[in-house]
Amino acid sequence: MIEICALASGSNGNCYYVGNDKEAILVDAGISRRQVLERMKEKGLNASKVKAVFISHEHADHFRGVRVLSKQLSVPVYMTSKSWGQSWGPNRPAMIKYFLPGDSIRIGDFCVHSFLKNHDAAEPCSFRIEHDGVNIGVMTDIGTPCENVIQHFGECQAVFLESNYDEKMLWDGAYPWHLKNRVASEVGHLSNDQAVELLQTYGREHLEVVFLSHLSAENNTPQLALEAFSALSDRFDVRLTNRYAAAEVFRLERKGVVV
């Protein structure tokens, strides 16, 4: 059995848990060590099982808590050398292991497949985490779905998928124009409509659950994000993550059978 949980998801911090009965992986650490450990405890997740933290890119909402968390758990942090080079020095962990985009890294019974994506960072990557025939994707901070994203998305039984902004809220909102253009650019974030199109076009029958992730507090609402996916509700189980608390723990068996 695999357990997955978004411990935090949003521009104020991101952290995603994937684990089995003996080991676990965290993707990103954009909240504090204390918040990560408290939220894991609240959800009955054992922090001693964590064997590695993978960092998707150097932006603070994915990186700010990793130094202290890595030290507390005595686990290595995996990221690309370019991401490391552009990261903020005081947040850099001591236990660092570099990977190249496209590398697959074995962590116990897990295989973490890394791949490049479109985002305005030094060397942004997303991940597909494979375990005993089940694949979990962590796919946020994507300006537009490239071939890498499309390929790995199609292999997933569960995915944390960015649904960052509502088009109308963004363009009618208070953001300055340069920031609006950045968010909507090909190296920005996925809108609700873009995420719907990705799921509608490339979601396969074995995709069990989609967690809408990295929702903007200023340019989206949970209700709008869910409504955007309503036409696909007969095909896919679409659920929400939370900016301020851990979401539900979702459990999958081999071949994506939910228990």
Determine contact, residues 252/21, Cβ cutoff 8 Å: no
Q: Encoding tokens for residue 89?
A: 């020095």
Q: Report the pLDDT value the prediction gives residue 255, as an integer from 0 to 100.
A: 58
Domain ranges of the chain: 2-253
CA dist., res. 68 & res. 242, Å (int): 23
Q: Has domain 2-253 been given CATH number 1.10.1200.10?
A: no
**Residue 15: is it exposed, middle or buried by C-beta count within 10 angstroms (0-12/13-18/19+)?**
buried
Q: Report the pLDDT value the prediction gives residue 256, as an integer from 0 to 100.
A: 41
CA dist., res. 30 & res. 8, Å (int): 8
Q: Encoding tokens for residue 49?
A: 């099982």
CA dist., res. 2 & res. 21, Å (int): 8
Return the SS3 of 3.
strand
Q: Report the pLDDT value the prediction gives residue 253, as an integer from 0 to 100.
A: 85
Determine contact, residues 105/98, Cβ cutoff 8 Å: no
* CA 169 vs CA 177, 197, 208, 220: distances in Å: 13, 19, 30, 7
Q: 10-residue block means of pLDDT along the chain (259 residues)?
A: 97 97 98 98 98 98 98 98 97 97 98 98 98 97 98 98 98 98 98 98 97 98 98 97 97 63
| DSSP characters over 109-168 | TEEEEEEE---SSSS-EEEEEEETTEEEEEE-S-SS--HHHHHHHTT-SEEEEE--B-HH
Count of CB atoms situated within 10 Å of the CB of 252 = 22
pLDDT in tens, 27-59: 999 999 999 999 999 999 999 999 999 999 999
pLDDT in tens, 168-187: 999 999 999 999 999 999 99
CA dist., res. 177 & res. 182, Å (int): 8
Residue 191 per-residue DSSP state: B
Angle (CA) 31-33-34 rounded to 5° is: 100
Q: Report the pLDDT value the prediction gives residue 61, as an integer from 0 to 100.
A: 98
